[in-house]
Each structure stands twice: as structure tokens, then as C-alpha cells.
A and B are shown apart, each in its own frame.
Chain A
Amino acid sequence: MAELMTDKEILRVDDLKVDFPLDDRVVHAVRGVSFSLDRGETLGIAGESGCGKSVTASALIQLLDRPGRIAGGSILLRGKGGKVIDIAKLPPKGKEINDIRGKEISMVFQEPMSSFSPIYRIGKQVLEAKPNGTRDEVVELFKEVGIPNAEKNVDSYPFELSGGMRQRAMIAMALLNEPSLLIADEPTTALDVTIQAQILRLFREQQSKRNLSIIFISHNLGVINQIAGKIAIMYLGEVVEYGPTKQILRSPRHPYTVDLFKSIPDISRRQDKLFTIKGSVPDSYKEIKGCAFADRCRAASERCFAEDPALVEVESGRWVRCHEVKQ
């Protein structure tokens, strides 16, 4: 198993599948996600609602909501000691995964107001992540992530802090156990642009200081362009395109990526009409035959409706899941 990973790699996800079995059907929320991440690198995951971005993130630390379960694939993590563990095979309530959460991989969520309890002081909640930690440690960390008056604010309640400050506190909590991988699920979506710019800077500072690897989930391609060197575009539970961010933004190959980029209003151009993709994202509980995007695709051929394409490397470092894209 270990020989699959290079020395630089910290995480390798291969054909990950997540199912949500319901009474009368099974929702295949994640149907095939593969990517890898090096130490100190940032991967952006982009896609529209329902494409499985957040479910993928939760699966990486086995925090799926019930009745979700990992139905296939592997999640190889190189731990701090150098040992390689397959997270997908660990029982979700076991000791092994508990030792990984927070210490190897930790998570930052979108809405810091609903992720913190309103009735406990913020410093106390942050400290819950590290039972043997001290208040001084938290104060130090608060200073480091740019919370003013850290001495005083450590005793504030979440509602007394602004959205940006709460997000800083959440980042401090995620860093408390010095993880090597940080998963950030839409961490700036609820913030104003000026505060978003501050938080993005904070991520970058902490990354270079701690040599952190980051998985950054966002629907905002502009944000991913600023922070992530690599990007995975998801559609209906699959990675459809994967590779270096700048290259993909410059010349997308998958028809979905091409159309998605065209539908975003571009700040540096004047457009009269925005491009739109026909139809809408289908329900994820429907059985999909062939390519998931085929019925909305402008380039679809007969083969696309019959056969599910695989994610293939079309040029060095660039992966696309499409029959029509030639190498």
C-alpha cells in the first residue's frame, strides 16, 4: 500500500464512493472521487450544490451524517509518524479514526455561528479540541490568527464576535493540535469580500509557517484561483476534471467545466448575456447510465449515453472524465 504513495504525498484518494441507503432507494452521493495531495500543497474542490463536495470532505475524516457510509475506494493518509493508513477501512467510531481527527486532519466549516455553541465561551470551546491544553495556549493561538484583544476575547461568547473573528477562532481551533492536513469547507462563503481577503491571507500565512496541506472547498472559482495550486471540478458525485488550477482556468477541457466557466460573470469583461447550460443538475438518486453530464452536454455522442467514461490523464498532470476529449 505504502509504495503507491510518493514521499511527498500526504493524502491519496482513489475512486472514493459514498452511499446513503434510504428506505426505498440508495443515494449515490459520491460516485468516484480520486485526487492526491502533497505536503504543503493546496487542492481546491469546486462544483455546484449537490455535486458531493462536502460529502467527500466529511468522508475523509469519517464524519458522514447517518445513514451515509463509504461504499468503495480508498483514502490513504501518511501519518505524522510516516505510517500509511487507509481511512476508508477504519470503523467510524473506533479509536484509530479518533486519533486522526484533529491531530492529523482537522476541519474548518462554513458558518462559524452554527458550528460554535452559543452558550459557552469561545476559548472554552476551542480548548475542547485539546483536553490537556491550557488557556494560555489558546490566547497565543488567537494572537497568531489575528484576533485583537486575544486576552479578553478568549472569554467572549460567539455572538459577541463578528463573522470574521469567529472564523479566525475556528481556524485557531483547527490548528490547536497541529494537524498536517486542513480541510476547509466553504470557509469564506459567509464573509464580506474585504474580510474574505483577510482570511485567505491567514490561510496562506499558516500554510507556509506550518507546511500545512489544505483541501479548500468552494463554489467560488475566483477564491480557488487565489489559494489552490490544484483543482478538482466535481459534477454529480464525480471528479470530471482535475489538474493545475491556472491551466484549467486558462483552457478547460471537460465540456461541463467549459460551460461552467462561461456562465460566471467576468469582472474584466463586459458581457450582455451570460452563457447558460441547458437543463439542470439531475437528482442524485436516479440511476445514471453513461456519462452523468451527457444529456446537458453539447458534445455528447451516442457512446456517452451508453458508457461511463473514466478519469484519464489527457496530458501530463491533467485528468478529464470525458469520451470526447482526446489525448
Chain B
Amino acid sequence: MSDDILVVKNLKEYFPGSKRKSPPVKAVDDVSFAVRRGETLSLVGESGSGKTTIARSLLRVWEPTAGEAHFYSREGRDFNIMKLSKKELKEFRRYAQMIFQDPYSSLSPRMTVYDIIGEPLMVNFGLRGEELSKRVIEIAELCGLNREYLRRYPHAFSGGQRQRIGIARALAMKPELVVCDEPVSALDVSIQAKILNLLKDLQSQLNLSYLFIAHDLSVVKHISDRIVVLYLGRIMEIADVDDLFEKPLHPYTEALISAIPPTNPDMEMKPILLEGEIPNSINPPSGCRFHPRCAYAKDICSKEEPVLKAYRGQKEDRFCACHFAGELKLHSLADTEAEEAALSRK
């Protein structure tokens, strides 16, 4: 599998309970997936589904409880992410960088933009003087930042400009994989459009792979090639973006898509209202974790946990963990559009 840049196998991340004897919080529980070179793979799910935890475990922000992950660089280096020495970890972080959600708290208020972008270059590549400033200007301009801005401090910038600074800082390292954790959710729509366009441009210019996290499904649909749907720390479904939105296989995916309020005035929202809220991940429900909220649940769902199985998709295989995948008649965006079209013909 030479076109994978990141392969994750059976990743688990348990956080200890608040008291010594209390059970751990199973934030991520046995998750496997792969990111291909040059693609955007998105993680979606409600709060508490483990999106951010997965991303941070993979960059070793904290130590994973169990599991294996490999990163393959363009020149063929294989980083066994969970077993990196201190020196290797530092090297690995050149290849994999992160863009954060909040452009206000993720930039130091006491550093100029020049220093923010330049610091990683000094530390990792030992750049100084002329060479350093040339590279900083090059990256800043790539990200749409004026070179006059470089002497200013973050407080002088708007949210969208700050997000550009955050992107420039990540790209300074010439990474191959960029983890984008809700990079546009703090931004207004007109600025969001600019940042999404920038991310797409940079991806094709620099052949970047993105592991993208967002809760806004219209953003996810716009930017992704493939999507991983998470629920309570487990994967429910993995599919190509068109497959997922046109024909969801998992009831949870169906519910998520149906809850997006459309801006199209001719489309009526018919949400499949999930009863209750995402349960506690200390003690997840038995069997399929989604069964207490699932409209299609049968006896077997509370007893036996479904495994992630392959199904045929339009372009390639897709995966779903549901006992009744393929048997249920689930509603999709395509159905809604067809209904509207039929209505308008009448």
C-alpha cells in the first residue's frame, strides 16, 4: 500500500478517571483507518466522539494507550509513530503539522508574525539571517499575508488573517501531512470561504495530505475526498464523500446528514431526530454503541457489537459497522433532491 501516508491500526486512547479507582474514559476505542497521499480525509461526529483525541494521539500530543500507527514520508521513511525516540519524534513533527481551531489562543501574543513563522525554521532547519527572512517571506506570501505584516503582533489581525498566520507556521516546516482541527469553525462565512480556498490551493500546490476535523458537514462535504464517521470513540462508517452523502449505510450517518439545516429555500429539513444525547464514554452502551438512539435497532443490536465490514461503493469499497448495513432503506441528500424535483415538476 504505497499510496498511504498514514496508517492507523487499533488505536485506543483511555484517559484515567478523576479518582484513583474510577474507570477510565474511553475517548477512542479501537480505531483503524488510513490517509492516502494527497487526499483530504475528514473525521466527523458529535462532540465527544473522539475526533480531536485521534488527531492529537497521532501527533503524540499525548501518549496513546494502545495501537499502532505508521507514517510514510515521500522519500520512503517509515515512522512507527507510537514507538518514536525523542530524536525521531522531533523529525516526525517536521512531516506532520497541525492547524488549530481558535486563531486567538493558538498564537503567542508576544511574538511578531515574523518570529511565529520563523521560529520553527530556526529550531528545525537552523536557518539564520538572509536565508531565514527569504523563507519566511516566501511562506507568508504563499498564504496570502503581506510582507509588511511580518513586523506586527497577532493582536493587530482579524480572525481570518490569524488563521493564515497559523497555516503559514504549519507550512514553514514543509510538512507532508497537515492535521486541521476545526480550522474554519471560528470564522465568518465570507472568511471561511477564503480559508477553504487557500487550503485547497495549498494542497494541490504542495501535494499535501489533510486529516481534517470539522463539525460542519457542508464544509466537510466541500473539502473532503473520504470521510470517517465516528460515534463514541468508534468508527461507524468510512466512505467516499459522494457515497456517504448520496447513500449512507449507517443510521447514525443518516441522522447526521438529515440534521443539517439546508440553505436552499426549496429543500425542507426533515431531521431524523435522535432521542437523547451522546452517552458517556466511561460506560458505553452494550452491543452497538449507537443502539439506544437508533430508530432501526433490533434485539441483536444491544447484544452484539457489529464489526466494520466492506461494502461495494461507486468508485471503491466502503466500510460500515452496522448489523443491518445495506438492508435498511436510509434517506439521503439525493432522495431529498429527487423529492423536491418531483414536487416542482407538479
Write the residues of chain A forming the contact surface with B, with a CB cutoff of 8 angstroms: 48-49, 148, 162-165, 192-198, 200-201, 219-223, 225-226, 245-247, 249-250, 259-261, 263-268, 271-277, 280
Contacts A192-B47, A197-B273, A198-B273; is A266 near B189 (CB within 8 Å)? no
B316 within 8 A of partner (CB): no
Known contacts A226-B261, A226-B269, then 17 further A-B pairs from the complex at CB < 8 Å, ordered by chain A residue:
A48-B189, A49-B159, A192-B47, A194-B259, A194-B274, A222-B263, A223-B261, A261-B263, A264-B193, A267-B263, A267-B264, A273-B200, A274-B193, A276-B190, A276-B197, A277-B190, A280-B190
Count contacts on B: residues with CB < 8 A to the other chain: 44
> Quick check: B222 and A274 within 8 Å, CB to CB?
yes
Of A219, A246, A260, A268, the contact of B337 (CB 8 Å cutoff): A268
B202 at the A/B interface (Cβ < 8 Å)? no
Please indicate the chain B residues that have their CB under 8 angstroms from the CB of A220 in the complex. Answer: 261
Report whether A267 and B260 are in contact in the complex, using a CB–CB cutoff of 8 Å.
yes
Selected from B158, B159, B217, B274, the residue in CB contact (under 8 A) with A267 is B217
**Is the pair B262, A268 in contact by a Cβ cutoff of 8 Å?**
yes
- Are the CB atoms of A48 and B218 closer together than 8 Å? no
| B189 close to A260 (CB less than 8 A) | yes
* Chain B contacts for A49, CB-based, 8 A: 159, 188
CA distance A265 to B193 in the complex (A): 8
How far is it, in angstroms, between the C-alpha of A225 and the C-alpha of B260 when the chains are bound?
11
What chain A residues lie within 8 Å of B274 (beta carbons)? 194, 198
| Complex CA–CA separation, A112 to B303 (angstroms) | 37
How many Å lie between the Cα of A267 and that of B158 in the bound state? 27
Give chain B nearest CB distance to A264 CB in angstroms: 5
- Chain B residues with CB under 8 Å of chain A are 46-47, 158-160, 188-194, 196-197, 200, 215, 217-219, 221-222, 245, 255-256, 258-267, 269, 271, 273-274, 276-278, 333, 336-337
Which residues of B sit under 8 angstroms from A261, Cβ to Cβ? 263
Within the complex, the shortest CB–CB distance from B213 to chain A, in Å, comes to 14
- With a CB–CB cut-off of 8 A, which chain B residues contact A274? 193, 196-197, 222
A195 to B261, CA, bound (A): 12
In the assembled complex, 18 residue pairs joining A and B whose CB atoms fall closer than 8 Å, in A order, are A48-B190, A192-B46, A193-B46, A196-B261, A197-B269, A197-B271, A198-B274, A220-B261, A223-B261, A225-B261, A249-B265, A261-B263, A263-B192, A266-B263, A267-B260, A267-B333, A268-B264, A272-B200
Q: Closest B-chain residue to A263, C-beta based?
A: B193
The answer to whether B273 touches A249, judged by C-beta atoms less than 8 angstroms apart, is no
* CA distance in complex: A194, B276 (Å): 10
A267 x B193 contact (CB < 8 A):
no
Task: Using known A-B contacts A192-B46, A192-B47, A197-B259, determine if residue A268 contacts B190 with beta carbons closer than 8 Å.
Answer: no
A245 to B47, CA, bound (A): 30
Chain B residue at smallest Cβ distance from A191: B47
User: Chain B residues with Cβ under 8 A from A196's Cβ?
Assistant: 259, 261
A250 B193 Cβ-Cβ under 8 A: no
The residue of chain B having its C-beta at the shortest distance from the C-beta of A193 within the complex is: B259
B273–A201 CB distance below 8 A:
yes
